[in-house]
Chain A
């Protein structure tokens, strides 16, 4: 391992040790559906463990108590023509008990499915999530078109309110999975899937794409931030604002760099002339905690390194390396940091 790689690994470890890792764990449920699934999990685990223990005990006891034999020991062929009631009873009971337990588990699953499906959806926040290679496009829907806004990779929701996700894909099959909130749902091109969830506890939850989608499937994560409702409204109001105009000369220079190099070909910043939808919307880039779809922390150092050469962190990503002079990069960073 090179010294440089080791240093960046240590830096990453250090920075992540300071930050609490957002929950991405089916055994740590926070959303109401994840909690329901967890209940079913505990019942199923209990039943399966008991069955396993019983079968293993019967098996081990059988091989422990049976007399030993050798290759030339005479085989017991008399049983070929006779019924064996002493063996028949335990086998029949075993099969019957297994069938009953299976029916219990099936019924428990049906009950859980109803619980998952029957989420009251009044006053739900509606969000359209579009899977891309390898990032998440997020668009908040509203009956009033002017109140809609776009962001990427980080979804804020109000705690205690239901959320309806409309899942589409712009290219291949992806899967939206935040295990601490709910099970997963595939994003299939040509189809729109729906996923409802609700979490009653504010918190930060992590999710990952769960359907193999090519080179960087492993680095296609997203964050779901559940805020108390007032905080959520404040966040949404800020997101609806266009980007502030650059104030200092350095920031103005940064915007100019953005427009004249490759950035504006793919990224949009509301309030500027950049309106392309090929890459994540950057209007409020500085308000997000991670960049590159949950791959890197959103710090100046990582953002600069990412812009100079995304391929170093996410090989195969569709964002090309952008060689900028140190001066231009400095200006661009100054501008991007205003996009709160």
Chain B
């Protein structure tokens, strides 16, 4: 009985809790061309299944860093605190270029028409993945325990951990949905 408890505790301590790892939890590798798809070859097809999972979505420190970078690199200059402005809103369910982590990664790194700059060589791989994880948390895609709570700033929306999870619709869904 005693040995069982002891070995369980030992195992638990080795496993740790990935959510709490800091300050440098290992990042995912950058997505390759084969697992990032922006659009289908033929119209009407559903989007390909996700190619890359971003384990930063389960790491509280990475999400918190992503939130800090979002503010410090002035993403809110165009995207507001998620409600959009010159750029599209990030806390809703509409995604122009895909809502999967590899899509968002590509968007940040490559830039997009109508004003999204290409941050390619200007951000490290870890920083981009942190931002990707944070952007996904803005519409509630990320688990509640790891999601950021309120920042020490003016608030214009509930903390990310308390937002309803939006069901992402990408551009083809939006076009297919009946209007009105």
Contact = CB atoms under 8 A, between A and B. Distances in A.
Contacts of A261: 121-122
B92 interface: no
Interface string A316-327: 100011100000
B46 interface: no
B72 interface: yes
A272 interface: no
Given A311-B24, A315-B23, A322 B124 contact: yes
A221 B126 CA distance: 27
A265 B23 contact: no
A260 interface: yes
Interface residues of A, number: 16
At the interface, is chain A mostly helix, strand, loop or mixed? Answer: loop
Contacts of B54: none
B157 to A, nearest CB: 21
Given A189-B152, A278-B72, A320 B124 contact: yes
Most chain A CB inside 10 Å of its own CB: which residue of B73, B122, B126, B152: B122
Interface in A273-324: 278, 311, 315-316, 320-322
A265 B123 contact: yes
Contacts of B123: 262, 265
A315 to B, nearest CB: 6
Contacts of B96: none
Interface in B109-147: 121-124, 126-127
A155 B127 CA distance: 31
Contacts of A171: 152
A8 to B, nearest CB: 21
B22 interface: yes
Count class of interface residues, chain B: 10 to 19
A321 B122 contact: no
B124 A260 contact: no
Interface string A87-102: 0000000000000000
B142 to A, nearest CB: 22
A316 B122 contact: no
A262 B122 CA distance: 4
A260 B121 contact: yes
B122 A320 contact: no
Nearest to A317: B23
Nearest to A266: B72
B122 A315 contact: no
A137 B103 CA distance: 37
Interface string A242-280: 000000000000000000111011100000000000100
A261 B124 CA distance: 9
A320 B126 CA distance: 8
Contact of B124 (A215, A315, A316, A321): A321
Given A189-B152, A265-B73, A278-B72, A315 B121 contact: no
23 contacts: A171-B152, A189-B152, A215-B23, A260-B121, A261-B122, A262-B121, A262-B123, A262-B124, A262-B127, A265-B73, A265-B122, A265-B123, A278-B72, A278-B73, A311-B24, A315-B23, A316-B22, A316-B23, A316-B24, A320-B124, A320-B127, A321-B124, A322-B124
Interface of A: 171, 189, 215, 260-262, 264-266, 278, 311, 315-316, 320-322
Q: Which 10 A-B pairs have the closest CB atoms?
A: A316-B23, A320-B124, A278-B72, A265-B122, A261-B121, A260-B121, A215-B23, A262-B122, A262-B124, A320-B127
